[in-house]
Amino acid sequence: MSERSPRKTVFWLASAVAAGLVALLVYLNPTATVELLGGRVRSGQAVAGAFVLPPLAFVACIVLTFLVARRWRVRGGGVLKNPVILGVRAGFPLENVLTALEVGSARRGPAIEGLAAARLANGDDRLLTIWSSERDLVMVIAILRVDGNAVWIDSEPVMLAPDSYFDAEAYDREARRLRDH
C-alpha cells in the first residue's frame, strides 16, 4: 500500500518555498536582478534564466511533492525498505542465490556466500533486489532483467514467511567483508 512520506513531503515543500522566495525576490526587484547578473546587454540569457527558472523550479517542486513523496507500507503498518540491490552480469546464476536466500534465516552461510558471489559478478544485466519490513517481518526477493532503459521482472518475486525473515542489510555487509578479504 502506498502512502505519503512525511520526510519527502517536507523536503519537496521546503524546496518549493525556497524557489518561490527566489522567484518573488527576482520579480519584486527586477532592476537589482539585472544589475547583479551583469547588465542588460552582456547577460541577456542569464537575465532570462533568472526570471524563468525560479518559477519553473517552484512548479517542479510542487509537482514532485505529489509524485515522489510516497513510500510503500505492508498491511501491518511497517515501511518496506530496499536494503539490498545488486547488479550482476548476464549468465550469473542468480536463481542459486535466490534459493540460498529463501532459507537464509536457517542457513546463514550459503546466503552470505551467494551475496558475496553476486557482488563479484558485478554487472548491469540482471538485478537482485530485496525489499523488507523489519516491523512486520516481511521480505520480498525479486530478480529483475535490465533491457536498455526497461526493467523486467525476470521471475515471480518470492515473499518469505515471517519465520524466514533475516536482516538482509547485515547479510549484505557481511558479504561485502567476505568479498573484500
pLDDT in tens, 33-64: 777 766 655 556 666 677 787 888 888 888 88
Phi, psi of 80, deg, nearest 5? -80, 125
Mean pLDDT, all residues of the chain: 81
Cross-strand partners of 3 = 71
Burial (CB < 10 A; 0-12, 13-18, 19+), residue 128, is buried
pLDDT for 1 beyond 80: no
Higher-pLDDT residue of 45 and 135 is: 135
Can you tell me the distance from the alpha carbon of 95 to that of 118, in angstroms, rounded to the nearest whole number?
A: 11
User: Nearest-CA neighbor of 128 among 149, 99, 107, 97?
Assistant: 97
Can you tell me the distance from the alpha carbon of 143 to that of 103, in angstroms, rounded to the nearest whole number?
A: 17
In this structure, of 6-20, 63-77, 102-116, 163-177, the range with the lowest mean pLDDT score is: 63-77
pLDDT for 19 beyond 80: yes
Band of the pLDDT at 71, cuts 50, 70, 90?
low
Specify the DSSP element, H or E, that contains 119. Answer: helix 108-120
Matching residue, cell 525498505: 81
Can you tell me the distance from the alpha carbon of 14 to that of 20, in angstroms, rounded to the nearest whole number?
A: 10
